[in-house]
Amino acid sequence: MLDYPKYIARTLHLARLGCYYVAPNPMVGAVLVNKDGNIIAEGWHKQFGGPHAEVECVRNYELGIKNYEKLEECTLFVNLEPCSHYGKTPPCAKMIIEKGVGRVVVGLLDPNPLVAGKGVQMLRDAGIEVVVGVMEKECRELNKRFICLHEKKRPYVILKWAQTKDGYLDKFRVESLEFREGPLVISTAWTKQLVHQMRAENMAILVGSGTALADNPGLKTTRWPGRNPIRVLLDRRGRVPMNSKIFSDDAETIVYRDNTEWQYVLGDLAKRGIHSVMVEGGAEILNMIIQDGTWDEMHIEVSDKALGEEGVPASKVSLPLQPKQIIDGHYIYELRGRE
């Protein structure tokens, strides 16, 4: 009897290799195991629009030791249900059937209505043994953004801010492109790198007009590999000029002016196929979202230094007793929203 969790754990490891390049597709890895329990081929989804993990895995098998193994005696492990529809690539379930794989073990059913059990049923109808639900919790966690989009019909929302030891986001500054006083520097070089990693992991990044005017941010991913996120600007009064960095050619920018109500923004981003949005501020936007209650994670960096004067107060939330990490003396907290 094969150790199913061991091989699904391997697919999760492979799937993460596509983390920064496959969105809005899910991260998927595949492992082909022979009857003796040896891995004879692996693959993962490397880039949006490119071959899926199952195709990569079987292709690698065919380039390798094809003459020594019979696919009907092998088991294909995959962390997410093989697709059953034609999209940018043909159905993986159809390919698995045509290649004659003997058994398929699936970590999690695909919540996409175009699949949602149809891939598994297609395999079973073809006489292939299918096992479903191995390490399901871990499989859901890996693709929480993709799952949120299809189950909740909205992007996965991550709130991110850094605050001083005495609870301030910034000092009081003038919001102006003509006269710009630099922001209060809270994060360190290492914690800034973590922020850029988060930018690479999420499809979109959102700020309000106050932040765009005060900081003139480009909102790019420069301290971590991966794509620049789609920039989202809430600018109800149309204050941010078009020569601002947020409108550069480095990434797409979506602007909401007529309607900046949070539920409307989330619904519209979902219609655009955006499965995750990272909110970097400012205070007004963060408080609006926290009051609404529709968010999934908070990542809060607390500096070891105090501002020592009145400034822009951070959102008051109950922090865990223990931080998730301590970096350069800064406490990094993570909170999860309601399910």
- Does residue 138 have an active-site annotation? no
CA–CA dist 89, 313 (Å, integer): 49
Tokens of 161: 């801010």
Beta strands in the chain (DSSP E): 29-33, 39-44, 75-80, 103-108, 129-132, 156-163, 168-171, 204-208, 230-234, 253-256, 276-281, 297-302, 311-313, 325-327, 330-336
CA–CA dist 189, 54 (Å, integer): 39
Q: H or E segment at 14?
A: helix 4-16
Q: Which of 42, 54, 201, 301 is catalytic?
A: 54
For residues 254 and 232, the answer to whether their CB atoms sit within 8 Å is yes
CA–CA dist 280, 259 (Å, integer): 20
Q: Which residues contact 114 (CB under 8 A, 6 or more apart)?
A: 83, 84, 85, 87
Using alpha carbons, list the distances in angstroms from residue 94 to 40, 107, 125, 176: 21, 19, 11, 58
DSSP string covering 26-51, please? Answer: PP-EEEEE-TTS-EEEEEE--STTS-
Buried b (16+ CB within 10 A) or exposed e, 231-247: bbbbbeeeebeeebebb
Helix (H, G, I), strand (E, B) or coil at 101: coil
- Report the alpha-carbon angle 137-2-9, nearest 5: 35
**Which residue carries 């009081």 as its tokens?**
172
Beta bridge partners of 33: 39, 75
Active-site positions?
Answer: 54
